[in-house]
Amino acid sequence: MNANPIDAKWKIFSDKIELQNDTVYVFRIFAQKYYPVAVELKDILSADEAYKASRYFHINDRKNYVSAKTATRMILSKLLCKDPEKIQFLLSPNKKPYVEGIEYNVSHSGDQILIAVCKKPVGIDIEYINRSFNIESLVASVFNSDETSDLNLSKDLSLAFYHLWTKKEALLKATGEGLVDDLTQISVLHDSIKRGNTLFLIKSFLSTPEYIWSLAFSSEISKIVYLDYQ
C-alpha cells in the first residue's frame, strides 16, 4: 500500500494560470461551499446541463452536479481565455469528453469534487472509504489474484480496496476506456502501467481519513499542481 497518508499540498487558486505541456493541474472544490457561487453563475450552463440539474431529486446531488459543471466551465474558460458559456465539449471515439487542446477529467464523492486538467491524457477518481461496504462481494469480479493477495496482506482492508479501485478507475478514465467488462485483466499494483502506446503513472492520496483519490497521467508529465478552487 503506497497511498500517501498525507494529502497533497493544496494552494489557493488565483485567476492567473497558463497550462504547461509538462504539468497536470488538479482543482479541488467543496460542493456545498461553492454552490452559492454556482447559483450566481447558473446562466453559463447549457440548456441540457440546466435540465439535468433540475432532474435531481436529492438536493445534495443537485448541488454536486451544478457545482461540478459550473466549476469545470469556469476553470476551462480561464485556460482557454473564452467565455465559460461558449465552451464546446467534444467526445473522443470512446466518448470521453474533452475540449479542443485540453484534456480534463472530473470525479466527485460526497462533498468533494476533483477536476484534473492537462494537455495529455489524464484521469482522476475520488472515493469515500465506506467501511460498512461488503468488500468481499466484489473482490473476485474486480481484482486479479495478485491484487487479491495484496488486499489480504493489508492491515486496513477497506483502505486497500479503495486504493486499488481508485487507481484502476483513474487509469481507465485516462485511457478513455471507462469501466471495461473484465476489470481483473488490468493490474494496478504498480504505479507505472502501459496501455496502448502510452506509459501512465498513477499517484494516490488520502484527501482526508475518509476519502482517497488517485490520479493517472502520461509519463511525459513531470509536475502536478494542486489548487483549491473557491
Tens digits of residue pLDDT in 149-171: 999 898 899 999 999 999 999 99
Cα–Cα dist 50/45, whole Å = 6
46 pLDDT higher than 80: yes
Residue with cell 481508485: 166
Domain 11-228 class, CATH top level: alpha beta
210 pLDDT higher than 60: yes
Q: Which 8-state DSSP code applies to residue 23?
A: E
Cα–Cα dist 60/38, whole Å = 14
Sign of the alpha-carbon torsion through 20, 21, 22, 25: positive
**Alpha-helical regions (H) of 27-156:** 31-40, 47-54, 59-80, 136-142, 145-153
Q: Name the residue with higher pLDDT: 178 or 16.
A: 16
Segment 194-208 shows an average pLDDT of 91
17 pLDDT higher than 90: no
Segment 200-225 shows an average pLDDT of 93
42 pLDDT higher than 60: yes
Q: Return the H-helix or E-strand segment holding 213.
A: strand 211-218
Domain residue ranges in the chain: 11-228
Q: What is the pLDDT of residue 181?
A: 63
Bridge-based pairing of strands 11-12 and 223-228 is parallel
Read off the C-alpha cell for 159: 483502505
Residue 228: strand pairing partners: 12, 28
Cα–Cα dist 190/151, whole Å = 14
Q: What is the pLDDT of residue 8?
A: 81
Residue from 148, 129, 142 nearest 209 by CA: 129
- CA–chain centroid gap for 111, Å, is 14
Q: Name the residue with higher pLDDT: 176 or 49.
A: 49
Report the range out of 116-125, 170-179, 191-200, 207-216 with the highest average pLDDT: 116-125
